[in-house]
Amino acid sequence: MIDRSPSPPTRPGLDDATGPPRVRAASPRRARGALPPGPRRRLARPLVLLAAFVCAACGLVYELELVAVAGNLLGDSVAQTSVVLSVMVFAMGVGSLLAKRLTRRPATSFALVECALALTGGLSVLALYSSWAWLDRLHATAVGLTATTFLIGVLIGAEIPLLMTLIQQVRREHAGRAVADLSAADYVGALVGGLAFPFLLLPALGPATGALLTGAVNAAAGAAVVLWLFREEQPPRARLLLWAVCGLVLAVLAVAAACTGAIERAARQALYGAHVRLAVQSRHQEIVLSGEAPGRPGPPLELFLDGRPAVCGPDEYREHEALVHPALAGRRGRVLILGGGDGLALREVLRHADVRTVVVVEADQALTALARTDPALAALTADAYRDGRVRSVHAEPLAWLRTDPAPDAGYDVILSDLPAPRGREGRTGHTEEFLGLAARRLAPGGRIAVRGGAPGGPLWAVEAGLRADGLRTVAYQGTRPAVPACPGEPAEGAAFVLAGRQTPALGLARDAPPPRSLTTGALRESAARLAARRPLRLPAPYRLLG
């Protein structure tokens, strides 16, 4: 019986028994986002690592820019550094968790993250300046600092998970090896960014322009490289849209760069007053001059260093006379000034004709250059830096004291014209170690004078530091104006400490031009008042490691 039920037709070469079965080759299909063979695939891994390097460098620059600007505007740089670092690290953890939702399209997500980071980080400094200039200064700037830091941290935290996904698309390998390569690129980039900020970006461009340039590099090197490498991940229309977003970010940064000058001027006027006429960003600090200029009448000259008033009003001579003249009442042939780059303490020293040599150790060369070249400041210093007896040394005073060989004869007078401590700021130049290194350079019978700050503040810790080095001390005050000229100046006036191997006699030199604001009687009366207020047990001195 024949089976006539329908059956599918036989396929020659497949269903018959005349030969082995053959399988038709399927057309090759790449996974979405996979790289085709060729030069782009060979370059992919180095370029992804380069993107990680650039992103890390940019991220650290943003962080340092925020720390620098926050210290200038809000003060207390230690607190601002702590806020920025802690918020940034926490936000990076949040960003890493959020990045898990973005790994389905890692190249597209990375491009968008980099564009957002370039925009946020690039405009961060101008945003803080604008908050200070046009909103509630302290509160709005503090809130803006925290919010900006958090957003930048979230975006930075999302980078590594996305880069890890991309590098695994290039070549599958052990996760530990991929993490090691990415971490190495990240850490080296952070090193380059950390060194570029203080030595290149800050002195050459300033914080605002430096942040904008960093944002442009972030957008171009981060997003564009990945968009070119992994362009197969997006359909043509989406790819064109992403390129347009990158171009828009760069355009916004360019427009912001054109407006930087106006925003910086508004912020400086809000911080320093309406008569700012010069601002210089050095490697060490921002130097701002306001007030009068030759041929242009105005308020008295004022000098600000990183937002801290250094010279205020016509009574600036009172503090410099109080620091200098009691110390120069004895032998004074060789004088050392630590700090004092503005030249005002130097002016008072040079009023003594028998001073033979003055060495000024100042870290900021831009400040001493300004004291030489700015007509108003040079006139205020009586062109002190042009005196042949003066030698300038540009070095950190602490480092110089440690390394420079002391002269055989020592110095007859050492003047520490470094700012008095405020909280934890400014303590380095008033520590037991610093004062001890300075005291070793005193000639027999020499004297050292130090700024002590407010009598109710750091004065007694400064005096304790001098006494810890075996010196005998006397604290005193100069005369003060009826109304404090500098913001934040102690209402009762600043105090000073005079010290030597023997208890120094407080007085003024009889063979020198008399100071405008001091008398021997007034000095001794102030010393008696402070002695009555001295605690029975002095507080512990400031220490570099304590």
Residues serving a catalytic function are: 417
| 3-state SS class at 171 | coil
Task: Write the CB contacts of 186 (distance below 8 Å, at least 6 apart in sequence).
Answer: 52, 53, 55, 56, 160
- Rounded Cα distance between 146 and 139, Å, is 11
CB-CB contact of 222 with 114 (8 Å): yes
* Residues contributing to the annotated binding site: 285, 320, 342, 362
* Binding region for spermidine: 320, 342
Containing 478, the helix (H) or strand (E) segment is none
Q: Could you tell me which residues are annotated as the binding site for S-methyl-5'-thioadenosine?
A: 285, 362
Within 13 A of 529's CA, how many CA atoms are on the CB side? Answer: 14
Distance CA 251, CA 242 (A): 14
What is the largest distance, in Å, between two alpha-carbon atoms of the chain? 145
Residue 377: alpha-carbon gap to chain centroid: 26
- Which residues fall within 8 angstroms of residue 278, CB to CB, at 6 or more apart? 287, 288, 289, 370, 374
**Angstrom distances, CA of residue 167 to CA of 5, 50, 114, 286:** 58, 11, 17, 42
- H/E element, 434: helix 432-439
Three-class SS state of 444: strand
User: What is the per-residue DSSP string for 173-219?
Assistant: --HHHHHHHHHHHHHHHHHHHHHHIIIIIHHHHHHHHHHHHHHHHII
DSSP string, 227-257: HHHTGGGS-HHHHHHHHHHHHHHHHHHHHHH
CA distances from 443 to 393, 409, 508 (A): 20, 6, 20
The letter for the amino acid at 389 is R
Q: Count CB atoms within 10 A of the CB of residue 17.
A: 6
Q: What is the DSSP string of 378-400?
A: HHHTTSGGGSTTEEEEES-HHHH
